[in-house]
Amino acid sequence: MNGWMKWIITGMLLFFTYQNRYRLVNLVLANFFIRRLVVRFAMGIPSLRSRFIQSTFRA
């Protein structure tokens, strides 16, 4: 496989991934344990946690 073919295949994979990004995210987050890890990781980031808490408990 030559260099051009690798770039073409990589570009097609990136295009497919970008086109179906929300389907892929839904597919990954459908798993309970993966979703739990992602939420735990996100809540460990102070800026994301504060935004989430502010939007949840608006006065």
- Using a cut of 0.85, tell me whether the model's pTM lies above it: no
Q: Considering its fold, how many domains does the chain have in total?
A: 1
**Cβ of 52: how many Cβ atoms within 10 Å?**
14
Residue 40, both tokens: 């735990």
At 47, the amino acid letter reads: S
pLDDT for position 3: 87
pLDDT for position 53: 85
User: Mean pLDDT, to the nearest integer, of 30-51?
Assistant: 91
Q: Confidence band (pLDDT; 50, 70, 90) for 56?
A: confident
User: Mean pLDDT, to the nearest integer, of 37-54?
Assistant: 90
Which residues span the domain enclosing 48? Answer: 3-56
Calculate the dihedral angle through the C-alpha atoms of 13, 19, 21, 23, rounding to the nearest 10 degrees. -110
